[in-house]
Structure 1
């Protein structure tokens, strides 16, 4: 066999063995440029649906309703470990193991317009390259630089994959961050591990744990917007009840730069501006919880919940 033929065979073998592996690794990935977002619907039909997220939230369009507060059960308990911090190429996600039943219940939420309890699944972030953009939802014409999503699964479904097939499958709590001069102690402990996940698909098991309440600080959780929508990433399943809190969290300029130092793994593509374009509200209703400081929780229970008379769409 001549050296030229041997070289050609070697190259062919290398291509046959490496290309499928590289394709399978990138097959699930997606981009955030406008042309890339328009292509999402080619692979995922739901991305062209009528009840998509995120949306522009405007107080003038929100219907004020008497409804229960969101109860965050177990948010004051230390999360089970080890917690996994992961750079998945389009966000930073925190994977949280399930709580050992012998040690108590896994954190869950209920209230608002939810008809069941929803168990914690994880959380992730969306952010921008500039302080004037980054959040997925826009609140009263303001696009904040960072938005955190805490994902919960309806406990009547055994896993997220099953839950995505139902309109009441998930509830996502959305929190906005504003840049301030001072370091935020609430998020500082997470950011210290970011240098360990700067590259695509890097992950680290945190050697500490924390409570969900500790990253929320003292913000007001009694007032919130809620609407029916979708995942903001492919497959864009219309299975999400969104709960958005207008009281903002803080993050310093130095701290938000930690997010912008992460890499997508694609040439010339730092992980910034990882937010989806706004979607039309269409025939959906946007609600805001009516807060009456003179009424106790028991008073609200006795008065009845008129939110049950309002559907998500009209």
Structure 2
């Protein structure tokens, strides 16, 4: 977002966000020998090495119900997310974030996948990894802004982007993050790795309600900023504590504290944002029967 970082009011809640993204474009998928950073001057320089970062469909963006179009969109279907996923997993500090690699081609095991929402019919997408975004202070951290609120976020790498918010509470710890939080000290230094041997139930990292979501066409939020992403942002929240969040702020990027690893807001321009509210009366029965999400127009004309 040109002109500097968006201001955040003191009463904004911090949350953790989950998203799924194309596994062919991992977070550190940058040109060999090049480097990017999240400072304001650093982000302004992204376009020099990655011209796509100046495109018209960039992410993240501000999202609000008042600017969204309500439609009876398909639900997210999750296979294997309610099962305990067996280790080992690899946790790595890559200097931009901390990444937990879920899929291991050398180990034959069932990989969770999703289908539904606005994915192509009969397509299913396997989970690749998850990574995190967080702020140095308790008023920032997320990339997308939902209803004017910035949040801390945790992110799943998959074959499209889906975000779920995690409500930030001072006293309430999220016991479902206990498989990960104690291991952060093992990857405090940049390029360090740790092997995790805890089982994971992925559904516990998502909110209970995944039926209500916002969706729009956008991009990766790190270089090379490819505009190949259909974002899906959940509205519900789950808890994380200040104590847990502070463990992330002990990590190093090789120059200092690893934090504020989020991209500034980009212009929405003429893009449409859709919202799925399954309990709302959106249209008549005949219109719902005739509704075809493949015919959605993603831009205002």
Q: Is the 8 A contact 1:231 1:240 kept in 2?
A: yes
Which runs of at least 4 in structure 1 moved beyond 4 Å after TM superposition? 98-104
Residue among 246, 257, 262 paired with 1:275? 262
- Partner of 1:68 in structure 2? 74
Task: Please state if 1:232 is matched with 2:221.
Answer: yes
Q: Per the alignment, in what secondary structure is the counterpart of residue 84 of structure 2?
A: coil
Distance apart, 1:97 and its partner CA = 2.2
With over 3 angstroms needed to count, the CA separation of the structure-2 counterparts of 1:246 and 1:129, relative to structure 1, is same
Question: Aligned partners of 1:65, 1:243: CA distance in 2, in Å?
Answer: 14
Match of 2:94 in 1: 88
Give the structure 2 partner of residue 111 of structure 1. Answer: 116
Q: What is the total number of aligned residue pairs between the two structures?
A: 266
**Mapped pair 1:247 → 2:236:** yes
Partner of 2:21: none
Instruction: Give the root-mean-square deviation of aligned CA atoms.
Output: 2.6
Paired with 1:100 and 1:67, the residues of 2 have a C-alpha distance of 37
Partner SS for 2:85: coil
Q: For residue 185 of structure 1, what is the aligned residue in structure 2? A: 175
Superposed displacement of residue 68, structure 1: 1.1
Match of 2:294 in 1: 308
Q: 1:129 aligns with which of 133, 136, 140?
A: 136
Structure with the largest fraction of helix: 1
Residues 70-116 of structure 1: CA deviation (Å, up to 9, x unaligned): 11111122335321111110111111124789754x21111122113
TM-score, normalised to structure 1's length?
0.78
Residue 193 of structure 1: SS of its match in structure 2? helix
Secondary structure, aligned partner of 1:194: helix
* C-alpha distance in 2 between matches for 1:148 and 1:103: 24
TM-score in terms of structure 2 length: 0.81
1:287 aligned to which of 271, 274, 277: 274
Residue aligned with 2:66, SS:
helix
Q: Distance in 2 between matches of 1:80 and 1:185?
A: 18
Bigger CA radius of gyration: 1
Offset, 1:189: 1.9
Contact 1:196–1:204, Cα closer than 8 Å, also in 2: yes
Q: Which of 131, 138, 149 matches 1:142? A: 149
Higher relative contact order (CA 8 A, sep 6+): 2
Cα distance change on mapping 1:81 and 1:97 into 2, 3 Å? farther
Contact kept, 8 Å, 1:122 with 1:152, in 2: the verdict is yes
Query: In the aligned structure 2, how far is the partner of 1:192 from the partner of 1:101?
Result: 24
Shift of 1:121: 1.3
Would you say the 8 A contact 2:219–2:228 is kept in 1? yes
| Structure 2 portions without partners, runs of 5+ | 1-29
What SS does the corresponding residue of 1:192 show, helix, strand or coil?
helix
Q: Does 1:260 align with 2:238?
A: no
1:198 equivalent to 2:188? Answer yes
CA contact (8 A) 1:178 1:249 kept: yes
Q: Secondary structure at the match of 1:35?
A: helix
Q: Within 1, Cα distance between the matches of 2:73 and 2:107?
A: 31
Q: Which residue of 1 aligns with 2:14?
A: none
